[in-house]
Amino acid sequence: MDLFESVGTDDAGLPTHRHAPLAVRMRPRTLEEVQGQDHLLGPGAPLRRLVEPSGAGDDRGAGVSSVILWGPPGTGKTTLAYLVARASGRRFVELSAVTAGVRDVRSVVSDARRQLAASGQETVLFVDEVHRFSRSQQDALLPSVENRWVTLVAATTENPSFSVVSPLLSRSLLLTLRSLGPQDLRLLLERALTDERGLAGAVALEEEARDQVVRMAGSDARRALTVLEAAAGAVLAEGARGSGHDGVPATPRIVPSITVKDVERAADTSAVRYDRQGDQHYDVVSAFIKSMRGSDPDATIHYLARMIAAGEDPRYIARRIVVHASEDVGLADPWVLSTAVAAQQAVAAIGMPESGLVLAQAALAVATAPKSNAVATALSRALEDVRAGRGGTVPSHLRDAHYAGAQALGHGRGYLYPHDFAHSVVAQTYLPEDLDGTQYYQPTTNGHEDRVSQRLARVRSILSSGESPGDGPGGAPGATWPQAPAPARSRKDSPGTGQS
């Protein structure tokens, strides 16, 4: 069978011709074929009322406003828009926020009003990537949504609370689509392999290869079907070249199977073979983390490359790097955390494959930095005390004294403002009484934390002894006072910069 043999069109006229991509041909025709969004499709749910009648004589979608579909790529936003359009023979008009302008929006609305007045036919306006519309473009939609000249179905991958103007958001029903799980993707792949609209049994998919496609796709159904189509096309092409020739009859037809290697070639990547239970996935992640912690940049890059090649979510990798910038480096090089956070933001902004370089820079920053777990240890010890019920009332001189009546309660009385004293340090109690003298943070002598350690020793001496910075040795004029932590990598500090 030819992989691209025509499979016709569905009863809504949606594109299912032989040149359409597999993801388009396999677009669900009914709500029952939609995977992973059961929370939006239950009986009486607004989205179901838009698509199906609830009873005899009930107008489809009656009382249902326009909707904004928010969810990750490949979760079915466009599919749901098509299904809404099919209800009661509505016209379907699609605009892309990437290319459409205000004039396009107004033209569609004008046509919709004419159709509604002339024949009563309703129009579904699907706006993909609505978050890319400017404020003026979104404002142009308001009258048509408010007067129901069109039923707006807008799709976005970004939080509508930040990307959609409030008037439009308040006039629409916000529906959040969930990421598709591995089982959802497996069902979609199985349907595509057997359905007449898809591959119609022309190829089989080995179990390991199926898991590979699912893992590489993340939660994106479109990506899963695209990889499957490419792998199937390659396998069928090889089979066609190997069929009978030179007058020798071809061997009986055997359905070819797609292997992991076929999937890798189709996706143009060499994949890490995580097993079905996910053990190898966690093993590689664990090795990546321990290599950063162990200051081995070469092992760090190796395991990062394995995750990238395997299609690991770059946002997940970035989160791990940020966490370990604090857990394993901390104040030994506090600027590593800034690098990691900047990398996380860059990954979200530019995507793959370019984000691979950003992740590599951040991971190497963690791996090559001096190490300290003093921050993590300090927080762990403090949480242990809090959860055990230790730590009494806040000392009265530290309590909020900015509201009426606070002074009569003694709040803030006796508080010493540190900046009124030499070196901005003054002896007074900060911890609750039952924890007085407790030291959670114990800096190491690694990297920048060595300077923190020297200064903190002097500060703690003052706080615990009641000594004033201006009294006694070390506080008298001309005495040496440990320098405050200075930027470890700055080359532009003036002679006085960094002094406490």
Question: What does the pLDDT look like over 105-159, one tens digit per residue?
Answer: 889 999 999 999 998 888 889 998 888 888 888 888 999 999 989 989 999 888 8
Name the percent of the chain lying above pLDDT 90. 25
Q: In sequence order, which residues have a C-beta less than 8 Å from that of residue 259 and are 6 or more positions away?
A: 206, 208, 209
Of 75-89, 189-203, 237-251, 448-462, where does the model show the most confidence? Answer: 189-203
**Maximum distance among all alpha carbons in the chain?**
107
What digits encode the pLDDT tens for the residues 474-491? 443 333 455 544 444 433
Helix (H) or strand (E) run with residue 128 in it: strand 123-128
In which band, very low, low, confident or very high, does the pLDDT at 282 lie, cut at 50, 70 and 90?
confident
**Average of per-residue pLDDT values in the chain:** 79
In which band, very low, low, confident or very high, does the pLDDT at 100 lie, cut at 50, 70 and 90?
confident
Is residue 88 within 8 A of residue 51, CB to CB? The reply is no
Q: Which of 219-223, 226-230, 265-269, 380-384 has the lowest mean pLDDT?
A: 265-269
Assign domain 279-368 to its CATH architecture.
Up-down Bundle (1.20)
Q: Once rounded to an integer, what is the mean pLDDT over residues 447-470?
A: 75
Q: What share of the chain is helix, strand, coil (3-state, %, to 5)?
A: 50, 5, 45
Assign domain 37-176 to its CATH architecture.
3-Layer(aba) Sandwich (3.40)
How do the domains of the chain map onto residue ranges?
A: 37-176, 279-368, 396-465
Strands 151-156 and 66-70: parallel
Question: How many residues in total does the chain contain?
Answer: 500
Specify the amino acid at residue 399.
Answer: R
Q: Which residue has the tokens 């936003």?
A: 77
Instruction: Report the pLDDT value the prediction gives residue 158, as an integer from 0 to 100.
Output: 82
Q: Which of 61-65, 196-200, 380-384 has the lowest mean pLDDT?
A: 61-65
Helices assigned H by DSSP within 334-420:
335-350, 355-368, 374-387
Instruction: Report the pLDDT value the prediction gives residue 159, as an integer from 0 to 100.
Output: 84
Beta bridge partners of 128: 96
Of 14-18, 300-304, 433-437, 465-469, where does the model show the most confidence? Answer: 300-304
Instruction: Report the pLDDT value the prediction gives residue 243, as an integer from 0 to 100.
Output: 54
What digits encode the pLDDT tens for the residues 243-253? 544 444 455 55
Nearest to 255 by CA among 267, 241, 239: 239
Is the pLDDT assigned to residue 258 strictly greater than 90?
Answer: yes
Instruction: Report the pLDDT value the prediction gives residue 88, as an integer from 0 to 100.
Output: 61
Instruction: Report the pLDDT value the prediction gives residue 266, as an integer from 0 to 100.
Output: 82
- pTM to 2 decimal places: 0.52
The DSSP code for 1 is: -
What is the b/e burial string over 264-294, where b = at least 16 CB atoms within 10 angstroms of the residue's CB?
bebbebebbebeeeeeebeebbebbbebbbe
Instruction: Identify the burial level of 7 via C-beta atoms within 10 angstroms of its C-beta, where 0-12 means exposed, 13-18 middle and 19 or more buried.
Output: middle
Is the pLDDT assigned to residue 255 strictly greater than 90?
Answer: no
Cα distance between residue 174 and residue 70, in whole Å = 7
CA 352 to centroid of chain Cα atoms: 13
Q: In sequence order, which residues have a C-beta less than 8 Å from that of residue 104 and are 6 or more positions away?
A: 95
Higher pLDDT, 472 or 339: 339
In which band, very low, low, confident or very high, does the pLDDT at 499 lie, cut at 50, 70 and 90?
very low
Instruction: Report the pLDDT value the prediction gives residue 472, as an integer from 0 to 100.
Output: 40
Is the pLDDT assigned to residue 16 strictly greater than 70?
Answer: no
In this structure, which CATH number among 1.10.3710.10, 1.10.760.10, 3.40.50.2300, 3.60.110.10 belongs to the domain 396-465?
1.10.3710.10
Name the percent of the chain lying above pLDDT 70. 80
In which band, very low, low, confident or very high, does the pLDDT at 6 lie, cut at 50, 70 and 90?
very low
What sign does the CA torsion over 473, 475, 477, 481 have? positive
Instruction: Report the pLDDT value the prediction gives residue 8, as an integer from 0 to 100.
Output: 46
